[in-house]
Chain A
Amino acid sequence: MEREIVIPGQLLSENTADAGSGTYVRDGKVYSLLYGVRNAKNRISVIPFSGKYIPTSKDFVIGTVIDVTPSNWIFNIGSPYDGLLHASEYPRRVDSSQMAAIMDVGDSALLRVQDVSPAMKVELSMRERGLRPLKVGRLIEFVPAKVPRVIGHGGSMVSMLKKETNCEIFVGQNGRVWINGKDHDMDLLDNAIRMIMQQSHMDGLTDRIYQFLKSEKENEKGIVSADNGSVEGPVEANSSDEAKEDQGEISEDTYRKVDALLEETDE
């Protein structure tokens, strides 16, 4: 099915029961609020091409510390609203004098949004399996609207990427991805993610990325075969206790959200 591009103000339906996200109702009709793709799953919604990340409770995000107070780390989460991580939401007991020693300005971490107040005060938490400060690996940033593409149906894209590149991957819903593995593998994954960004609105994306990775690896085989084959699976370059704990898996409800968004627009 041809994907339909819609424009703010465009009439989507004459039935108010159809009004989904990214739409508004006026005089009994449903119109688009956004520039994006029409998604007619159950109700009609519009998936925007771009837009800033607006935090929602339970989202997984990747933040970078911009300030440390005696009781809070303040994180930039790529949003108009900064996030607060209270010391009590750190996995271990923290003395206020130790705050900056644990995470200082510029440090990044895997986090979860715990609560968002109506005034957009964003509370973060690290008290969950897999969430932690990041000491190694790379961060890649892109438009948050493209996050569903990186995750894929039921996590298909991210699973495939992990498998094909032997890297750890954590996808933050705020448009940041953390990857970790061998330099060479990260380069490959980095390129694959950039390709997803460039082609995010096109069909059959997972297949094309798979093909890309496959051909890249084949091209390299001849050149760097000696360099390969030593370690299997993700490389835990850092202190193993931290890295082993979790691969930064994406939760089930995230998959569901993503699926709903990709449904109909991904054929």
Chain B
Amino acid sequence: MSDKPEKFIDENGLRLDGRQINEIRQMKIKIGVLSRADGSCYLEWGNNKILVAVYGPRELHPRRLQKADSALIRYRYNMAAFSVEDRIRPGPSRRSIEISKVSREAFEPVIMTHLYPGAVIDVFAEVLQADAGTRTAAINAASIALADAGIPMKSLVSACAVGKVDGQLVLDLNKAEDNYGQADLPVAMTQDGEITLLQMDGNLTPEEFKRALEMCKEGCRQIMEMQKEALRNKFADDHLPIEVPDEIVETLDVAATLEDVVEENEGDEVEVDDSSEETVEEDPELESEVEVETGDADEYAAEEPEEADADDDILEVEEESVDLIDGEAGDEDEGVANEGSETREQ
């Protein structure tokens, strides 16, 4: 293909697709689109179409891959065979393996992996249609899918690229700019501007790099706003107020309901204590209990309560868990899975 445009930026300073040099493409985000996944996100960005599913934290097999003190993150970037002009063979390529690695590392700094020792968090990013900037698009979608899965994170991660065409820096490359540009700098950032992914190819002066990074930062900031907006709006339609007639509120007086239950169960032991309502607020133990239940992750305090009984059980754990793996192995083969399947028929 030799359809390289003569000029990437016209006399009005606009790009081939009509954008300003610092303007990002249209983004469309849908959350919770896959029923089987723990969290998911469908994202369109320009002509990119990306679907991300998150599973976990879940059990990790084989056991030798487990990390004793934290969860493992696995990130799989995969392109559908039909996602590009020339069909690509299904299955991992050197390119997709590299992208998977750096994308995983883009999330390592923000995910609270130490809350889930020995477990795994799987992120599957499928590029259904590719149109320049798939890795950054996948990271933007993965960030939302992780939040949707209830994974504790210090920040969302947002990503975009800056490139150079006609000697000028442009934000969020389109296909032609990506193919024929003089540089490509994909970056992922946290909300504080910490860089968690950075790659570059092509040619930039240190001066240009500095400016490019500034542009990336502004792009990521805008994208993070869109991510937040999408998350806030997931339940928007459901928030309509619903009228509840007064009388029904009355019949549902909690104490009364509980009494009824006690009567019904007669002699049976019923562990309902009417006073529990009042004691809630004063109970000093309560806060700590609640924290633990919801998978508390107060950054600095979280590890402390666990240390108390960290000693004698450890040897035993090793033993018991052997059983545990054997037991699982049998169940596992049920699901047929595959990647890179190609059946040649004749």
Chain A residues with Cβ below 8 Å from B326 are 67
**Known contacts A8-B154, A160-B257, A257-B289, A121 near B297 by CB under 8 Å:** no
Tell me whether A163 and B254 are in contact in the complex, defined as CB-CB below 8 angstroms, given that A5-B235, A9-B155, A257-B290 are known contacts.
Answer: no
Contacts of B313 in A (CB 8 A): 117-119, 121
Q: Of residues 225 to 267 in A, which have CB atoms within 8 Å of B's CB atoms?
A: 233, 246-247, 249-253, 255-257, 259-261, 263
The stretch of B133-141, B196-204, B314-322 that contacts the partner chain: B314-322
CA distance A160 to B257 in the complex (A): 7
User: Would you give the shortest CB distance from A99 to chain B, in whole angstroms?
Assistant: 12
When distances are taken between beta carbons in the complex, the residues of chain B under 8 Å from A233 are: 264
Residues of the B chain whose Cβ atoms lie less than 8 Å from the Cβ of A160 = 252, 257
Contact among B147, B232, B264, B298 for A8, CB-based, below 8 A:
B147
Cβ contact of A249, chosen from B272, B283, B293, cutoff 8 A: B272
Are the CB atoms of A74 and B310 closer together than 8 Å?
no
Decide if A21 touches B314 in the complex (CB within 8 Å).
Answer: no
B147 adjacent to A163 (CB under 8 Å): no
Taken together as a complex, chains A and B put the C-alpha atoms of A84 and B261 apart, in Å, by: 33
**Chain A residues near B293 (CB-CB < 8 A):** 21, 56, 59, 173, 257
A252 to B279 alpha-carbon distance, docked (Å): 11
- Which chain A positions have C-beta within 8 A of B289? 253, 256-257
- Shortest B265–chain A CB gap in Å is 6
- Count: A-B pairs, CB below 8 Å: 254
| Residue tally, chain B, CB below 8 Å to A | 92
- Answer whether A119 and B317 are a contact pair too, CB < 8 Å, given A163-B264, A208-B242, A263-B280: yes
Taking a contact as CB atoms under 8 Å apart, the answer to whether A20 and B150 are in contact is no
Q: How far is the CB of B287 from chain A (nearest CB, A)?
A: 6
Residues of A within 8 A of B228 (CB): 7, 10
Per-residue interface assignment for chain A, residues 197 to 234, with 1 indicating a CB less than 8 Å from any chain B CB and 0 otherwise: 00101111011101100000000000000000000010
Residues in A whose Cβ lies below 8 Å from that of B323: 67, 69, 72, 74
User: Bound state CA distance, A20 and B264, in angstroms?
Assistant: 38
Please, what's the 1-or-0 string for B311-338, where 1 marks a CB less than 8 Å from any CB in chain A?
0011011001101101110010000000
B299 at the interface (CB under 8 A from A): yes
Q: Closest approach, in angstroms, between the C-beta of A259 and any C-beta of chain B?
A: 5
CA–CA, A5 to B236, complex, Å? 10
Determine if B277 is an interface residue (Cβ-Cβ < 8 Å): yes
Q: Which of B56-64, B124-132, B167-175 is the contact stretch?
A: B56-64
Assuming A56-B292, A204-B244, is B231 touching A162 (CB within 8 A)?
A: no
Complex alpha-carbon distance, A8 and B154, angstroms: 6
Q: Say yes or no: A42-B295 contact (C-beta < 8 A), given A8-B153, A35-B231.
A: no
| A-to-B contact residues, CB < 8 Å | 5, 7-10, 19-26, 31, 33-36, 42-43, 45, 47-52, 54, 56, 59, 66-67, 69, 72, 74, 80-82, 84, 115, 117-121, 129, 145, 153-156, 159-160, 162-163, 173, 199, 201-204, 206-208, 210-211, 233, 246-247, 249-253, 255-257, 259-261, 263
Q: Which residues of B contact A (CB under 8 A)?
A: 38-39, 56-59, 68, 71, 110, 112, 115-120, 147-156, 190-191, 227-228, 231-232, 235, 238-239, 241-242, 244, 248-249, 251-252, 254, 257-258, 260-261, 264-265, 268-274, 276-277, 279-281, 283, 286-287, 289-300, 306-307, 309-310, 313-314, 316-317, 320-321, 323-324, 326-328, 331
Beyond A20-B298, A54-B295, list 17 extra A-B contacts (CB 8 Å): A7-B156, A7-B232, A8-B110, A9-B110, A21-B298, A24-B299, A56-B292, A66-B327, A67-B326, A80-B58, A80-B120, A118-B307, A159-B260, A162-B261, A201-B238, A208-B244, A261-B290
